[in-house]
Amino acid sequence: MCGRTACTLAPDEVSRACSYRNRGGQRRRPRWRDGDADNYRPSYNKSPQSNSPVLLSKRHFDKSAPVDECVLASMRWGLVPAWFKESDPNKMQYSTNNCRSENILEKKTYKDPLLKGQRCVILADGFYEWKRQAKERQPFFIYFPQSQSGEEKKDTDEQNDASASNNDQGNDALSSPSEDRETEPEWTGWRLLTMAGLFDCWTPPGGGEPLYTYTVITVNASPNLESIHDRMPAILAGEEEVRKWLDFGEIKCLDALKLLQSTNILTFHPVSSLVNNSRNNSAQCLQPVDPNSKKVPEPTASSKMMMSWLKSGTPQKRKDTSESKQDKTETVAKSAGPLHQWLQGTSKKPKVN
């Protein structure tokens, strides 16, 4: 199942990392819902009951919003159904951190939000899973392969840019740079994992602030992960799958459920047992280890990228650095990114803390 994640990006980085193209072909940065950026805290070791960044259709909050507009929200992990009658959401007597895709229409807790179109995408650097080995459990960190995603995304974006440019010719004089043209530099940081989920909004019976919560939908593990665990989060592998999952108006629930498939494209590496304790929150939680040795193993391509990204500093430091680069040319901004450097053949091994 999925009981622990990591999301180390600052709020502004999350917004840039999950930019999307609207139906007109323009690339958009989803804005945070009012106040939610302050409720999210980056973490190397997120457990249930903590807040995570969630992507969803803005129409859930604003009925007049364009059908293809997305928004970021900070939601608590562990779905509390709208009909829950207790005054304390912590009194839920069963776990709703995960929802099995096979049973989603059989349980009222999940069926109600699904039929209401309350679909969302949970964003994370990756998730942790534990493999049982004799009397011990070895944790693994599981995430998108970074070496492939960067080049593929770049090629796709360049093609879409050309198409959007052709469609927009003749409208430049009437277009607002901040609204209709792509002005953001290409995201060259960590490619976020996009997990399918459901959310609900619970309000205390006696009145008070509404609480938004979510559950991660799980499916059978893919062939390359089943040796670790028999279940995995339902991964939305590309921008088109994310769009379809969030478009609750055009894509009805039964068709959306067809997107929930085992995805054999994730990579992983073993990590330290430090992650077993949710109070441990440092980059060491993600550091690749050799389960049979105290030495740090030779890094893989994707783990190199991860450690290079983490070494670029804290989320705030990366944010400050990226903001200072926005005044430079696009070429300079791209060449400074850790993903770009690594794709060009950077082979420097990460330092061991």
Q: Per DSSP, what are the bridge partners of residue 100?
A: 218
Long-range contact list for 136-140, CB < 8 A, 24+ apart? 137/276, 138/270, 138/291, 139/270, 139/271, 139/272, 139/273, 139/275, 139/276, 140/228, 140/268, 140/269, 140/270, 140/271
User: How many Cα neighbours within 13 Å face the side chain of 199?
Assistant: 30
Catalytic residues: 2, 129
Rounded-to-integer distance, Cα 128 and Cα 269, Å: 10
Distance CA 80, CA 95 (A): 10
Dihedral angle sign, alpha carbons of residues 263, 53, 191, 156: positive
Residue 318, SS3 per DSSP? helix
DSSP type of residue 332: H
SS3 12: helix
Positions of E strands within 221-327: 231-233, 267-270
* Residue 134 region by backbone torsions, left for phi larger than 0, else alpha for psi between -120 and 50, else beta: left
How many Cα atoms sit within 13 Å of 342 on the Cβ side?
26
d(CA 44, CA 277): 12
Q: Residue 199 and residue 121: Cα distance in Å, rounded?
A: 9
Looking up tokens 């198409």 gives: 163
Chain length of the chain? 353
Q: HEC profile for 13-41? A: HHHHHCCEECCCCCEECCEECCCHHHHCC
Beta strands in 134-171 (DSSP E): 136-143
Q: In what helix (H) or strand (E) does residue 215 lie, and over which residues does it extend? A: strand 211-220
* Phi, then psi, of 281 in degrees rounded to 5: -140, 80
